[in-house]
Chains A and B, each alone.
Chain A
C-alpha cells in the first residue's frame, strides 16, 4: 500500500504513538485515549471505527489541535503536532460530529467566513466559496439561509467549510451520523470525489459499511486503544464469513434448499429455521455464492420468497475481536467523547 504512486516519499498523514488523553480526576478519571498507536498512510483514506466512547472523537480533536494529549507523540505529515499546532492548522480541514454551520447565514456566507479566516481577501474568499459550492452541488442553494437547509445539506456545507482552506488532510468526525440513508449515500459519493484526487482523509465512523465504502485502511479502536487494523476486507474476514439466507415458499422445499446451500459452505452445515422456512449458510465470496444459489434453486424448481446476503456488521467484527458486542461499550464514556 505504501508503494502507491506519490506516497512513497511522503511521511504518514498522521502518526500517533502512545497517545493518552484523560478526562476528570481521581477515581472518576476516564482514559479516553489509552496509549493509542495509530498510523494513517499518506495518499489513502483511513477510517477509525469504533463504538461510542471508544475515543474516536478525542483522537480527531487531538489531531485537529483542539485537545492537547497528556502523553505520547503526534505527527501530522512532517509536523510535530504537539509542538507546532499552528502549522497543523494550516494543513487540515475539520468537520466535526455536529454540523457547525451558522443558521443565520447563507451557505455561501458560511464558506466565505472560513475562507477569510484562511487569509483570502474578499474576492478570493468569494471565489473559493463558489468553487466549493459547485463542488458539493450546493451552487443553487448558496444564497439561501442555512436555516432552511435539510440535514444532508447542512452536513455537505459543513464538509465544504472544511474544504475552503484546500486542506492537505481532511478530518471528518462521523460525517454521516444522523443522516437518512439517501443523504448518507450522497455524502459518500461526495467524499469519494474529494479523495479521488489524493487529499488525505481520516474519518471516524460507527458503521462498518461506511468504512467499507470509503476507506482503504481501517483502524478499529476500543477503550482508547487500537484493537485491529487492516483493509475493510481483511477485517470482515476476521469477523466471520458472509451468510446467504434463503426463505422458501413452501415448507416442503426446505430439504432441497438445504441440499443446495450445503454445497457452498465448505463443510459447515446450513442452519434451518423451519417455522420461518429459512435456511442460512456461511460462505466465502458471498456475492458469487448468492447468484449461484439463486441459479441452482431455480434449476431445481424451488420457489423462493426471499433471498439475501448478510455481511458481517461492525457488531460481528467487534464480537470476533473483543468477545463482546459493540453496544456493550461503557455508556459513561459517551458524554466525554462526544
Chain B
C-alpha cells in the first residue's frame, strides 16, 4: 500500500509545487495508445518523405528507370506469348514495388537508430511495437504512391488493364497488402544494420528475389533448378496474382498456370507469413535492452 502512494507521489508530484507543473500540464498518465503512438510516428515519417523531395524523387526515379529499361531495352528479347511485354511487366512491377522502396525504408529506420531517435522513443511510455507499426504504415503509404507512379508511367508506355473495374480495385489492394507485408523485413534490416550505409547494402541484397521471379521474364526460360525456386517464391506468386487480374482471363491462360483467385489466395497467405515472421523479429530487436 505504502508503495502505491509513494509511487503516485513520484509520478504526479502533487504534494510539492514544481517548476515542471508551472509550464506544462500533466500528460495522461499512461502515455499514448498503440494506435495513437503509431499514427503520431507515421505522421512524422510521412512529413519526412514530403519534406525530403530527394527521397521521393530518387525512389520513383529508380523504379521508373527499371521500368523503362525493361520495357524498351530488354523487353523486345523476352518472349511472353500473346501478351504484350508492357502488359506482362507493369503488373509485376506494381506487385513488387515494395522492393524498390524497401531499401529506403531500411535506410530510414537505420537513420533513426543512428540519430538516437529510437532511444528517445524507447524511453517514452508507449508500447514499443507502436513505433514500428507507425513506420510500417508510413512506408505502406509510400508504397501506394509508388504504385500510382508505376501505373501512370506504365499507361504512358503502352500498358493497358484488361480486367474489369473490380479486378483493378482488387489488384491495387493486393499491391498495397504486399507492400505492407514487405515493410517488415526491410524495417528489420534497418534495425539490424544500425547505420545507413549498411542498411543500404542490405536492402540491395533483397534484389535477387525480384530478379529470380516471374517479374521480368517467364520462369520457364530459367534453368530447371532455378525454375523450381522462382516458381514458388513469394514474389512470383504475388506478381502472378496481380498479372492475372491485369491481363484478363483470356490471355492469362497463355502465360499463367492458374487463375487469379488461386494466386491471390496464396499471395495473401505469403503476406501474412512474411508479416508474422518479420514484425515480431523487428519489434523484438527494437525493444531489446
Binding site for B on A (CB under 8 A): 6, 10-11, 61, 64-68, 76-79, 85-87, 89-92, 94, 96-100, 102, 104-105, 109, 113-120, 124, 127-128, 131-132, 134-135, 145, 161-168, 193-199
- How far, in whole Å, are A199 and B18 apart by their CA atoms in the complex? 7
Contacting residues, chain B, for A76 (C-beta < 8 A): 10
28 inter-chain pairs at a CB distance below 8 angstroms, sorted by A residue, are: A64-B119, A66-B119, A89-B31, A89-B123, A89-B125, A100-B116, A100-B119, A109-B44, A113-B44, A116-B36, A117-B32, A117-B126, A118-B31, A118-B124, A119-B33, A119-B125, A127-B25, A131-B23, A135-B23, A162-B120, A164-B27, A166-B20, A166-B27, A168-B13, A193-B19, A195-B19, A196-B19, A197-B18
Q: A6-B16, A92-B123 are in contact. Are A97 and B116 (CB under 8 A)?
A: yes
Q: A119-B27, A119-B36, A128-B25 are in contact. Are A77 and B10 (CB under 8 A)?
A: yes
Answer whether residue B166 sits at the interface, using C-beta atoms and an 8 A cutoff.
no
Answer whether residue B37 sits at the interface, using C-beta atoms and an 8 A cutoff.
yes
| Per-position 1/0 for B14-40, Cβ under 8 A of A | 001111111111111111110011001
- How far, in whole Å, are A66 and B24 apart by their CA atoms in the complex? 25
Contact across chains for B31 and A96 when beta carbons are under 8 A apart: no
Contact across chains for B44 and A105 when beta carbons are under 8 A apart: yes
Q: Which residue of A lies closest to B120 (CB)?
A: A100
Answer whether residue B285 sits at the interface, using C-beta atoms and an 8 A cutoff.
no
| Residue in A11, A96, A99, A134 whose beta carbon sits within 8 Å of that of B6 in the complex | A11
Q: Which residue of B lies closest to A199 (CB)?
A: B20
- How far, in whole Å, are A127 and B30 apart by their CA atoms in the complex? 19
Besides A91-B10, A118-B28, 17 more A-B contacts (Cβ < 8 Å) are: A64-B119, A77-B10, A89-B125, A94-B120, A104-B48, A118-B31, A118-B125, A120-B27, A120-B28, A124-B25, A127-B25, A128-B25, A131-B23, A163-B20, A164-B24, A198-B19, A199-B20
Q: Which residue of B lies closest to A84 (CB)?
A: B7
| Per-position 1/0 for B186-224, Cβ under 8 A of A | 000000000000000000000000000000000000000
| Residue in B18, B52, B119 whose beta carbon sits within 8 Å of that of A104 in the complex | B52
- How far, in whole Å, are A11 and B6 apart by their CA atoms in the complex? 9
Contact across chains for A116 and B289 when beta carbons are under 8 A apart: no
**Nearest chain B CB to A131's CB is how many angstroms away?**
5
Contacting residues, chain A, for B52 (C-beta < 8 A): 104
Q: Which residue of A lies closest to B26 (CB)?
A: A166
Contacting residues, chain B, for A127 (C-beta < 8 A): 25
Contact across chains for B117 and A100 when beta carbons are under 8 A apart: yes
| Residue in A99, A105, A119, A165 whose beta carbon sits within 8 Å of that of B47 in the complex | A105
Contacting residues, chain A, for B24 (C-beta < 8 A): 128, 131-132, 163-166
- How far, in whole Å, are A252 and B156 apart by their CA atoms in the complex? 92
Answer whether residue B259 sits at the interface, using C-beta atoms and an 8 A cutoff.
no
Contacting residues, chain B, for A100 (C-beta < 8 A): 115-117, 119-120
Contact across chains for B44 and A94 when beta carbons are under 8 A apart: no
**Nearest chain A CB to B95's CB is how many angstroms away?**
30
Among B11, B43, B52, B120, find the residue whose CB has the most chain A CB atoms closer than 10 A.
Answer: B120
- How far, in whole Å, are A197 and B20 apart by their CA atoms in the complex? 7
Q: Which residue of A lies closest to B10 (CB)?
A: A77
Contact across chains for B32 and A118 when beta carbons are under 8 A apart: yes
Contact across chains for B23 and A132 when beta carbons are under 8 A apart: yes
| Residue in B23, B40, B122, B123 whose beta carbon sits within 8 Å of that of A116 in the complex | B40
- Which 3 residue pairs across A and B have the least CB separation, nearest first? A197-B19, A119-B28, A100-B116
Q: Which residue of B lies closest to A197 (CB)?
A: B19
| Per-position 1/0 for B27-67, Cβ under 8 A of A | 11111110011001101100110011000000000000000
Q: Which residue of B lies closest to A165 (CB)?
A: B27
Contacting residues, chain B, for A10 (C-beta < 8 A): 9-10
- How far, in whole Å, are A225 and B105 apart by their CA atoms in the complex? 40
Q: Which residue of A lies closest to B48 (CB)?
A: A104
**Nearest chain A CB to B86's CB is how many angstroms away?**
36
Among A85, A87, A94, A120, find the residue whose CB has the most chain B CB atoms closer than 10 A.
Answer: A120
Contact across chains for B20 and A90 when beta carbons are under 8 A apart: no
| Residue in A79, A104, A117, A145 whose beta carbon sits within 8 Å of that of B7 in the complex | A79
Contact across chains for B10 and A198 when beta carbons are under 8 A apart: no
Contacting residues, chain A, for B119 (C-beta < 8 A): 61, 64, 66, 94, 96, 100
Contact across chains for B44 and A64 when beta carbons are under 8 A apart: no
Q: A97-B116, A119-B31, A161-B120 are in contact. Are A198 and B16 (CB under 8 A)?
A: yes
Q: Which residue of B lies closest to A117 (CB)?
A: B124
Contact across chains for A94 and B18 when beta carbons are under 8 A apart: no
Contacting residues, chain A, for B115 (C-beta < 8 A): 98, 100
Contact across chains for B25 and A119 when beta carbons are under 8 A apart: no
Q: A78-B6, A135-B23, A199-B20 are in contact. Are A90 and B44 (CB under 8 A)?
A: no
Q: Which residue of A lies closest to B39 (CB)?
A: A116
- How far, in whole Å, are A64 and B28 apart by their CA atoms in the complex? 20
- How far, in whole Å, are A61 and B116 apart by their CA atoms in the complex? 12
**Nearest chain B CB to A130's CB is how many angstroms away?**
10
Contact across chains for A65 and B6 when beta carbons are under 8 A apart: no
Contacting residues, chain B, for A78 (C-beta < 8 A): 3, 6-7, 9-10
Contacting residues, chain B, for A117 (C-beta < 8 A): 31-32, 37, 40, 121, 124-126
Contacting residues, chain A, for B123 (C-beta < 8 A): 64-66, 89, 92, 94
**Nearest chain B CB to A56's CB is how many angstroms away?**
15
